[in-house]
């Protein structure tokens, strides 16, 4: 079962136990994956539900629900100040590592103002990576927000902000207890002092990712690996 190909479908495509396939999905299944009528794959709605599905000439039949658990017990939101380049290459590993939501942030040091095309591309990457890494859910990639707006509107019980060059406690020393955690990570040059102060005023606790200086595209991946590892190592023992 684990080796079957996965395809994300939208709720509107599902009618009882039938999935109406879009032309690009038919192309993907028949041409790219080279499946034939009668072959099986896994259809997932991106919200946590998956079904064993059988390909038919013009639709797919849902045979039975598949119960598995590949999501983290705590929903991780990452607020990421947009780096100059390389954000595409961040979304994919973050999805593999289990992020629930990514909030692109326009910070004081952000230079990029992403086009709608970029956002669409990041969402497509998240969907592909969710299929390939065998996740149950597709992470949400929100529209970009200013840091101030994000601090006020993004809700999370536990709030952390990564600060370089400080004496903050290591991220891995934080006991993850809440049902949701939000971690804010800066771009090239890090957060400004004013941004850190504003975050602390919004109950964000400064944490460290270690002694070395990580690039803006490495820090989120390292943070997500630590957040996932901290949760799964506790569960798997």
Identify which of 95, 109, 197 has the alpha carbon closest to the alpha carbon of residue 146. Answer: 109
- Please pick, from the candidates 10, 37, 153, 173, the single residue that binds a copy of itself as defined by CB under 8 A: 173
Under the binding rule (CB under 8 A), the answer on residue 193 touching a copy of itself is no
- From 9-17, 23-31, 152-160, 222-230, give the range in contact with a copy of itself by CB under 8 A: 222-230
CB-nearer residue toward a copy of itself: 12 or 69 = 69
The tokens describing 201, both together, are 């005023």
CB of 77 to a copy of itself, least distance (A): 18
The helix/strand/coil state of 105 is strand
Identify which of 232, 101, 226, 224 has the alpha carbon closest to the alpha carbon of residue 170. Answer: 226
Q: How far apart are CA 215 and CA 223, in angstroms?
A: 12
CB-nearer residue toward a copy of itself: 36 or 165 = 165
Under the binding rule (CB under 8 A), the answer on residue 185 touching a copy of itself is no
CB of 167 to a copy of itself, least distance (A): 8
Under the binding rule (CB under 8 A), the answer on residue 134 touching a copy of itself is yes
Q: How many positions of this chain bind a copy of itself (CB under 8 A)? A: 41
CA distances from residue 5 to 68, 100, 120, 224 in whole angstroms, order as listed? 15, 22, 23, 25
First to last CA, the chain: 25
C-beta neighbour count of 179 within 10 angstroms: 11
- Please pick, from the candidates 18, 52, 172, 200, the single residue that binds a copy of itself as defined by CB under 8 A: 172
CB-nearer residue toward a copy of itself: 180 or 208 = 208
Under the binding rule (CB under 8 A), the answer on residue 73 touching a copy of itself is no
Q: How far apart are CA 7 and CA 131, in angstroms?
A: 6
- From 45-53, 57-65, 90-98, 110-118, give the range in contact with a copy of itself by CB under 8 A: 90-98
In contact, 153 and 182? CB cutoff 8 Å: no
Q: How far apart are CA 26 and CA 60, in angstroms?
A: 10
CB-nearer residue toward a copy of itself: 151 or 221 = 221
* Binding site residues, a copy of itself, CB under 8 A: 2, 69-70, 89, 92-93, 96-98, 132-135, 165, 169-173, 208-215, 217-218, 221-223, 225-226, 228-230, 232-233, 236-237
């Amino acid at each position: 079962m684990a080796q079957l190909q996965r395809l994300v479908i939208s709720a509107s495509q599902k009618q009882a136990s039938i999935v109406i396939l879009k032309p690009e999905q038919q192309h993907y299944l028949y041409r790219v994956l080279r499946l034939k009528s009668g072959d099986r794959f896994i259809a997932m709605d991106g919200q946590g539900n998956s079904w064993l599905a059988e390909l038919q000439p013009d639709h797919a039949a849902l045979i039975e629900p598949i119960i598995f658990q590949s999501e983290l017990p705590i929903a991780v939101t990452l607020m990421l100040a947009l780096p100059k380049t390389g954000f595409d290459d961040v979304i994919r590993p973050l999805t593999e590592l289990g992020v629930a939501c990514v909030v692109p942030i326009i910070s004081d040091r952000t230079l990029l103002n992403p086009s709608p095309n970029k956002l669409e591309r990041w969402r497509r990457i998240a969907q592909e990576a969710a299929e390939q890494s065998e996740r149950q859910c597709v992470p949400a990639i929100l529209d970009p927000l200013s840091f101030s707006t994000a601090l006020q509107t993004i809700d999370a019980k536990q709030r952390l902000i990564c600060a370089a060059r400080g004496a903050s406690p290591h991220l891995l020393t934080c006991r993850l207890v809440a049902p949701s955690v939000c971690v804010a990570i800066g771009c090239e040059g890090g957060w400004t002092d004013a941004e850190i102060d504003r975050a602390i005023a919004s109950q964000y606790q400064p944490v460290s990712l270690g002694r070395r200086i990580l690039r803006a595209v490495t820090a989120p991946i390292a943070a997500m690996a630590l957040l996932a590892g901290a949760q799964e190592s506790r569960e798997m023992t």
